[in-house]
Chain A
Amino acid sequence: MSKNSVPSSEEEIADIVRKANGDSETIEIVGGGTRLGLGNPVHADMQLSTSKVSGITIYEPGALTIVAKAGTPLSEIEKTLAKEGQHLPFEPVDYCALMGSKGKSTIGGVVACGISGPKRYQAGACRDSLIGVRFINGTGDIIKNGGRVMKNVTGYDLVKLLCGSFGTLGILSEVSFKVLPLAETTTTIVVDDLSSADAVSALAKAGTSPFDPTGLAHLPASKDQPSAQTLIRLEGFANQLEYRATQMSDLLKSFGKVHRLDEKEHLKIWQDVKECRRFAGKPGSVWRASVKPGDAPGFLEHLNDQFDCFLDWAGGLIWIFADEEALEKNSGSSALTDTLRQALGGMGGHVTLVRANDKNDVADAFQPQAAGVAAISAAIKQQFDPATILNPGRMNSTSK
């Protein structure tokens, strides 16, 4: 890495990109630097940080919208929203613990990686809350799409396309969100000692009840988890939550012993689920499998006890861990990534390598797509960044 630049405005970013494009210099984009380990490694001529393009531009609590420059720390946005009793509905995730990274997560990084927490099951993903972007494409043009209103079908929705594009289509300079009121109270119901298959059934029953759970996870027993816990998070008005909790407990009692967590356990357990702390600080590799919730048990059947797993999104998200011993036995992360992708069989979905134990052992963090879809993705990348200077290689599907 020869150069670092820290522009302080959208125009400065555009100038840098235009020059880099002219000089065929490649750029690695950095927000707070907390998620740089995600995706395939980037080897670029320079690093561009958006951290100085920062600040909340518009916040209208009565309109449920917030607009912020991309380098704004996530914590600043969350604090500002919390003061008005609001939040980002998709429960953005801080990856520092899992990735072993340091720094301040930025809102631009959250959007670029398009990662959502446990509440995604009920409230939608980052891309669902995101209503507008401004970005700089690979030739240095400043582009806007969407806006600051939550209902907007004017032109194509490039907002969704940019969300989760890992900086390969453009450098985000500003993002807008639909926000929602925070619940007055939350609580967690636990069903003990379920097998993963029974847990997925219980979570489906909870998720398809009218009691609107905002978190549905299952933590199987492991070395550090003495017995399995199936978690159902409920939210609501302080006076009404007891009703929901009672109804939900009744609904699930046929599955096993049902009890409630106290406030402290409740908060901690969801932070652990959200930030994937089960695998934080442990040497080994981590994957996410995204499957149809009902397919989770079938997928898990293919995994042997070399893997440790837990489920979020009612089974739709499976976190998978292999320790160093398992990696060695199976010739490393890339080989195990293939094994996991084969385990999907014909069921659909995909497996992403989130953290490789050996940073050089990353064949393809993102699962290769069908030829037709891959060709479209690559052609779109070509349209946004013809010289492939933005985060080259980060997403295999957008590489030349």
Chain B
Amino acid sequence: MSEIAMPTPNPHILRGRDQIISRLISELGEAMVIHDKNETIAYECDGLSAYRCPPLAVILPGNTEEVVNALKLCSELGLPVIPRGSGTSLSGGALPTEDSIVIGVSRMNEVLEVDYDSRIIRVQSGITNLGVSGEVAGNEFFYAPDPSSQLACAIAGNIAMNSGGAHCLKYGVTTNNLLGVKMVLMNGDIIEIGGGHLDPAGLDLLGVICGSEGQFGIVTEATLKILRKPEGARPILLGFDSSEVAGACVSDIIKAGVLPVAMEFMDGPAIIACERFAKAGYPTDVDALLIVEVEGSPGEIDEQLTKIKTICARHDPAVMRESESAVQSDAIWKGRKAAFGAMGQIADYMCMDGTIPTSQLPFVLGRMQEMAKEYGLAVANVFHAGDGNLHPLILYNANTPGDLEKCEEFGAEILKLCVEVGGCLTGEHGVGIEKRDLMGHQFSEIDMEMQMRVKDVFDPQWLLNPAKVFPITITHSRRNNDQQYKAA
């Protein structure tokens, strides 16, 4: 069994299972409730698949009113609720407990309004990230945040986790592209915040809702900013003999006033794995690869790439390969985009997600390889270099007893290192359960207390995704579910 503990399920709820399910069905309708154990198993985990637990039942509402009814009922009965988008969270944000009800928004995936002149789209929250961009692509628009899971992940989950992606150096993350939400609170109240206008009328509640990991309410509709596509984009592939030099090159490019739309970094082990898997034509005799992509008109692209090449030349690169065609651009990105699949072919892996000040890049990468030796586990790095968001992939073997635990311990040490050098535990995946117990390394008790008091406002019963984000030892008295459950 692995290390991250979930609270003991409430035995009263487990014993009341049949009555609870009858109550859910009688009030919400048979079609909305999934309770067969062969079916609830599809909801037992998210992208952090080392942890699994089927929920007591799953509710799939078709509109905001149905979410209201579902939450009201769960609130009345005192049942923990796990909100779920598409279940792609890498931190266990959608992991159920045995005594919980999953409420999924996957049936709510309509586009409600597109207003190009005001640069907004209003959608139901179950729509996928790529579905949003797809809706407006015909008019040369796009939705900027682009997490790797964008084909599958739902906007609801993006909002819950404040998801990022490869292009956020220029365009920001979800919170910078979210203009409004319709959200249902645990007690069934609907609140509407923001919309097509740009500034909040009072406190910036939208800002604190985004990234609250499904602990404040269930977002059913969202107003998102859409942007006109640039005229073009072109990457350049840069290879270096050491990660330190590649890191220095990243910093020099930024200092020179060039703002690439993406700067992706791969270290030696990652390059070899990706090349073997994707055959993208990457040089395998270098220690670090950078993919730097710039946008603009043909002239602007040329000028930026020329600047980048001049800076890069000062760092004595082993490879400098500018894309000259769409085919070449695809090839440059192909390996990077296949990174996670490539790693999966070699071994089981855990993907970490700390952020560091970019000035600490060489030190942290060096220290990570030392730690890899200490733990006897391999680590490969594929990450967003421009913003310092690391994704160390720690390889382990799930069939070797003790390997997962060792891997988690190593991961925790990496994240602590990120905090020590001035960074943070998670840049874009969220805390979930994965980093929950490390929160004390980044925050003091009062820092966390202040955050939890905000949850107290939105969800005084602490029923929404209750065992996530904060160490369960400090949330115990607030969750206090034993006394909350009311027999159905």
Contact = CB atoms under 8 A, between A and B. Distances in A.
Nearest to B179: A292
A294 B117 contact: yes
A197 to B, nearest CB: 12
Interface in A284-331: 290-295, 313, 316-317
Interface in B182-223: 189-193, 195-208, 210-212
B199 A125 contact: yes
Nearest to A289: B197
Contacts of A150: 169, 355, 387-388
B430 A141 contact: no
A395 interface: yes
A159 B422 CA distance: 17
Contacts of B84: none
Looking at B229, B251, B439, B447, the one whose CB has the most chain A CB atoms below 10 A away is B447
22 contacts: A124-B172, A143-B450, A145-B451, A148-B357, A149-B427, A151-B427, A156-B212, A156-B451, A160-B175, A160-B208, A163-B204, A181-B258, A204-B118, A208-B228, A210-B229, A294-B196, A317-B198, A366-B201, A370-B191, A379-B457, A384-B453, A397-B203
Interface in A235-277: 236-237, 239-240, 243-244, 247
B408 interface: no
A125 B470 CA distance: 29
B205 A164 contact: no
A84 interface: yes
Nearest to B225: A124
Contacts of B200: 164
Contacts of A239: 299, 303
Interface stretch (A27-35, A47-55, A60-68): A60-68
Interface stretch (B30-38, B73-81, B160-168, B336-344): B160-168
A119 interface: no
Contacts of A225: none
A171 B427 CA distance: 26
B300 A114 contact: no
Contact of A62 (B115, B229, B359, B470): B359
A181 B258 CA distance: 7
Contact of A159 (B193, B198, B207): B207
Nearest to A169: B203
Interface in A108-150: 114, 120-121, 124-125, 127-128, 137, 141-145, 147-150
B250 to A, nearest CB: 8
B448 interface: yes
Given A293-B118, A383-B456, A373 B357 contact: no
B119 interface: yes
Contact of A149 (B172, B422, B447, B450): B422
Interface string A150-164: 111111111111011
Given A239-B303, A294-B196, A152 B355 contact: yes
B257 A181 contact: yes
Given A151-B389, A153-B427, A376 B191 contact: yes
A63 B204 contact: no
Interface residues of A, number: 88
Contacts of B444: 144
B428 interface: yes
Contact of A145 (B210, B257, B297, B447): B447
Given A154-B425, A158-B450, A207-B119, A144 B355 contact: no
Interface string B452-488: 0111111000000000011000000000000000000
A206 B426 CA distance: 37
Interface string B237-265: 00000000000001110110111000000
Contacts of A6: none
A149 B191 contact: no
Given A294-B115, A376-B457, A154 B201 contact: no
A85 B258 CA distance: 11
Nearest to B435: A154
Nearest to A183: B257
A350 B195 CA distance: 11
* 3 nearest A-B pairs in the assembled complex, by CB-CB distance: A160-B207, A292-B196, A62-B251
Interface of A: 60-65, 84-85, 114, 120-121, 124-125, 127-128, 137, 141-145, 147-161, 163-165, 169, 180-182, 184, 201, 204, 207-210, 212, 236-237, 239-240, 243-244, 247, 290-295, 313, 316-317, 348-350, 352, 366-367, 369-370, 372-374, 376-377, 379-381, 383-384, 395, 397-398
Contact of B202 (A204, A236, A295, A397): A397
A149 B442 contact: no
Given A124-B172, A149-B427, A158-B451, 9 more contacts: A63-B388, A64-B254, A150-B387, A156-B212, A161-B203, A207-B119, A292-B120, A348-B196, A370-B191
B357 A60 contact: yes
B423 interface: yes
B207 A313 contact: no
Nearest to A159: B207
Nearest to B441: A154
B259 A180 contact: yes
Given A64-B254, A290-B197, A155 B454 contact: no
B446 interface: yes
A383 B164 CA distance: 30
A379 B140 CA distance: 43
B224 interface: no
A130 to B, nearest CB: 10
B116 interface: yes
Given A158-B451, A316-B197, A147 B191 contact: no
B423 A149 contact: yes
A127 B198 CA distance: 11
Nearest to A350: B201
Contacts of A292: 115, 118, 120, 195-197
B197 A157 contact: no
B443 A155 contact: yes
A309 B221 CA distance: 33
A369 B257 contact: no
A154 B205 contact: no
Given A158-B208, A210-B228, A210-B230, A372 B191 contact: yes
Nearest to A209: B228
A163 B207 contact: yes
A208 B176 CA distance: 18
B45 interface: no
A208 B32 CA distance: 41
A124 B199 CA distance: 10
A348 B455 CA distance: 27
Contacts of B300: 236-237, 240, 243
